[in-house]
Each structure stands twice: as C-alpha cells, then as structure tokens.
Amino acid sequence: MDPKQQTAISDCVSKGQILFDEPLSRHTSYGIGGPAEAFFLPGDNKELARMLRIVSQEAIPVTVMGSGSNCLVSDTGVPGIVISLADCLNNFHIDGSSVTAGAGVTLGYLVNRCLQAGLVGVENLVGVPGTVGGALIMNARAFGGEISTHVDRVRTLTLDGKERIYRREDLQFGYRSSGFRPDEIILEAEFHLKAGPPETIADLQQRFLNERKARQPLKQRSAGSVFKNPASDLTAGMLIDKAGLKGTKRGDAEISVKHGNFFVNYGKATAEDIAFLIKLATRTVRQQFGTQLELEIRTLGFQPGYWEDEGLAG
Ligand SMILES: Cc1cc2nc3c(=O)[nH]c(=O)nc-3n(C[C@H](O)[C@H](O)[C@H](O)COP(=O)(O)OP(=O)(O)OC[C@H]3O[C@@H](n4cnc5c(N)ncnc54)[C@H](O)[C@@H]3O)c2cc1C
C-alpha cells in the first residue's frame, strides 16, 4: 500500500481505529498470523461504508474478520485492508422474543443476554468463541443447535456499498456454510427465540460447558475443529485418532491428544507448522481410509494453490 493510499484510508477514520502493519496474531484465537497491511475497526456503519468507497476507488484488496476464532492466517500476513468487526458494530436490543444483534456482538454476550431475558434457542452455543457475523457465515453449531435455526433477518453491506436484507429462507444455510456472497459484510441480524424458564436454560448451559471442558483442549490456543466431519456418524477427529496422529507435533503445534480435530498452539507455533500438520492429517487419512477431508477453518493470506497438493480448497 503506497503512502497516498495510507493517507486516504486514515483520513476516513474518525470514530474507529486504523492500524498499519498490524500483526494478525493479536487478532486470532490461534495467536498466529503475519501483519495486515492495514487493519480497520469501524466506529459505525457509516464509517465502514465510507471506508469501502475509498478502498474500492484505490483498488485495495479487502478481507473481513470477526474475532478470528475460525481462521488460520499465513505467516506472511494479509495484503490490503483487513476489516475486523470484533468489538465493533455491537448494538444489541431485545424486544419480547425478538433479539437484534450487531455483527460484532460476541456469541458469549448473545447467549448470556438471552439467558437473562429467559429466551431459549441459542444456549447450545455457550462457550463457542466468535462474533454473530462470523457465526452466521460459518453457521456455528454445537450440541445439535445451529445459529441459523433462529435467525429471522440479516442485514449486509456489499463491498460496493449496497445494503441488502435477507430473510432466513433466502440463505442456504448448511453444515458449516451459509449462502452469503463473498463480497458482502454482515452488519446485523435479528433472531426470533422462544420464552423458557431461565433455570432450565442455565442448567443446559452448564451441561454444555462441562462437556466442552471434558472433550476439548481449552487450555491451549486453537481455532476449534480444523476439518469438517465427513458424515454425521464419521467425525474427522475419529479418523485422525484411528490414523494414530493424535499427539503429532511440529514445532509448537500439535494435533491435540485430547481431540484429534483440534490442532493447538503451545505458544510459538507458526502458520507453516499448523499447515504442515493439516496436510499430514489430510494425506494420512486419505491413504488409510480413502476419505478426503475438507477444511472447516478459513485460511487467509496463503499463496494461490498452497493447499491444492492435498486436495484442500484453502
Ligand atoms: C475453542 C474453540 C471452540 C470452538 N467450538 C465451536 C463449536 O462448537 N461450533 C462451531 O460452529 N464453531 C466452533 N468454533 C469455531 C468458531 O468459534 C466459530 O466458527 C465462530 O462462529 C467464528 O466466529 P468469528 O467471529 O471468530 O469468525 P472469524 O473466524 O473471524 O471468521 C470466520 C469467517 O467468517 C467471515 N466473517 C466474519 N465476520 C464476518 C462478517 N461480519 N461479515 C462477513 N464475513 C464475516 C470471515 O471472513 C471468515 O471467512 C470454535 C473455536 C474455538 C477456538
């Protein structure tokens, strides 16, 4: 990014924050990732729209992130501008059984406020890190409940500045997938939930949290499950376990001993270390069981074709 472009994008920020050469390791749950040329936390929707106009005029590449809890960012970082909605656009409102949440609201906040209001539907997502925007893109799911089940409407902004409103039926939500276009940013979502007794919701939440602690390596940094499950009765974790790969290390990265589909960072792991283990697991599972794994995590900043040798989309 040249100095003229840097000035143009700095000049359009008044409420939010713009940082240059910002290490993305500070903004991912892995604690991994090289710098973003520019890292933008919008102060509000208007500032975001203004920024999109400038970056489009300047032909600067745009990448959107929530709280980076499902992303592996390359060690060389991400060119252009990374727009992060973590801690931004976090308006929140409950009106009866209708809940409106800005894309930057954390899932933890959404789950807690719904519990306080005695609303049932999103308690399964307790303990899932991330933002409402990221959860909708990924169609976050836990303990049989998916965020898409209760969504009514979603408001987005395209990179060329057009606002769109989707109803649930317009979006093809699937297993860890949604029908949003790659060129749009989720701004806000409205959920419709049902009333329920807070004690029951609290009990359920506690049960889910206990199960999470028992099954997942929550003491180390990770991005949750690396691969999608090939089928509902065949998990990627089971295949990786059967292939004898649990505990395999590369540098400070490890295929968790506790959960075969969690690849963890003990402190100084690089994206290359995690990528090495991802490719190893993909190859070994294919050779031993004939199953091609598919990535669940989103990869950012890798060279085109980086994942192709193992048949991964990246
Ligand atoms: C310990 C741990 C446990 C986890 N457990 C679960 C689990 O049980 N179930 C589950 O489903 N996931 C789980 N995850 C994965 C992750 O938390 C979810 O996928 C979460 O919804 C991602 O949200 P995020 O804001 O961090 O998104 P990010 O990781 O920042 O982004 C994910 C994708 O969404 C896009 N995106 C983010 N925000 C927007 C937006 N506003 N507009 C447009 N695009 C956007 C990004 O470009 C990227 O492609 C876990 C992760 C960890 C670290």
Same domain, 102 and 182: yes
Q: Is 298 close to ligand 1, i.e. is its CB under 6 Å away?
A: yes
Q: What is the pLDDT along the chain (314 residues), one digit of tens a residue?
A: 899 999 999 999 999 999 999 999 999 999 999 999 999 999 999 999 999 999 999 999 999 999 999 999 999 999 999 999 998 999 999 999 999 999 999 999 999 999 889 999 998 999 999 999 999 999 999 988 899 999 999 999 999 889 999 999 999 999 988 999 989 999 999 999 999 888 888 888 899 999 999 999 999 999 999 999 999 899 999 999 999 999 999 999 999 999 999 999 999 999 999 999 999 999 999 999 999 999 999 999 999 999 999 899 87
For ligand 1, the distance from its centroid to the CA atom of residue 7, given in whole angstroms, is 31
C-alpha 37/C-alpha 109 separation (Å) is 30
CATH assignment of the domain containing 269: 3.90.78.10
What confidence tens digit (pLDDT) does each residue in 195-217 have? 988 888 888 889 999 999 999 99
Same domain, 8 and 73: yes
C-alpha 133/C-alpha 188 separation (Å) is 8
pLDDT at 230: 95
Same domain, 96 and 191: yes
Same domain, 176 and 105: yes
| First-to-last C-alpha distance (Å) of the chain | 25
pLDDT at 237: 97
pLDDT at 302: 97
pLDDT at 198: 81
In a domain, 231, yes or no: no
pLDDT at 200: 84
Same domain, 258 and 285: yes
In a domain, 35, yes or no: yes
| Known catalytic residue at 296 | yes
In a domain, 208, yes or no: no
Choose among 310, 258, 268: nearest CA to 286: 310
C-alpha 295/C-alpha 71 separation (Å) is 11
Name the helix (H) or strand (E) containing 216.
none
Choose among 217, 220, 259: nearest CA to 241: 259
pLDDT at 232: 86
For ligand 1, the distance from its centroid to the CA atom of residue 288, given in whole angstroms, is 30
Q: Rounded to 5 degrees, what are φ and ψ at 313?
A: -80, -30
Same domain, 151 and 252: no
For ligand 1, the distance from its centroid to the CA atom of residue 91, given in whole angstroms, is 19
160-188 as b/e: b if 16+ CB within 10 A: eeeeeebebeebebeebebebeeebbbbb
Number of domains in the chain: 3
Q: Is 133 close to ligand 1, i.e. is its CB under 6 Å away?
A: yes
